[in-house]
Amino acid sequence: AQTVTQSQPEMSVQEAETVTLSCTYDTSESDYYLFWYKQPPSRQMILVIRQEAYKQQNATENRFSVNFQKAAKSFSLKISDSQLGDAAMYFCAYRSGDYGGSQGNLIFGKGTKLSVKP
């Protein structure tokens, strides 16, 4: 079974600085997708970024980028120029790319709580 591990329960960053959140996963599959979701105090789950395992190029969305290391099964999220609105729980998630018989659901890590200091 696939697992997702986020080893940093809490992180803190100064406004305008850069922070990196860590995520590792375990799978025997070769085709899969990885995601970072943000959950602010409102509790809404917001997609931050998505990475296809078959793509070597790291995904980027504005100030958010990932460092995807497939061999190491690592998928970290870098937030540049941190803003107060970035304060939230961040969840790393895995989804199988095989729809032959497996599920299309997301498998989540336990999350990292990010605080942004003004």
Q: Of the candidates 30, 55, 61, 104, which one interacts with another protein according to CB under 8 A?
A: 104
Written as one string, the DSSP assignment of 84-118 is GGG-EEEEEEEEES--SSS----EE---EEEEEE-
Q: CB of residue 2 vs another protein: minimum separation in angstroms?
A: 12
CB 19 within 8 A of CB 82: yes
For another protein, give the closer residue by CB, 2 or 67: 2
Q: Is 110 in the site for another protein (CB under 8 A)?
A: yes
Residue type at 1 in one-letter notation: A
Neighbours of 26 (CB within 10 A): 11
Q: Of the candidates 28, 43, 62, 118, which one interacts with another protein according to CB under 8 A?
A: 43
Site for another protein in 13-42 (CB under 8 A): 33, 35, 37, 42
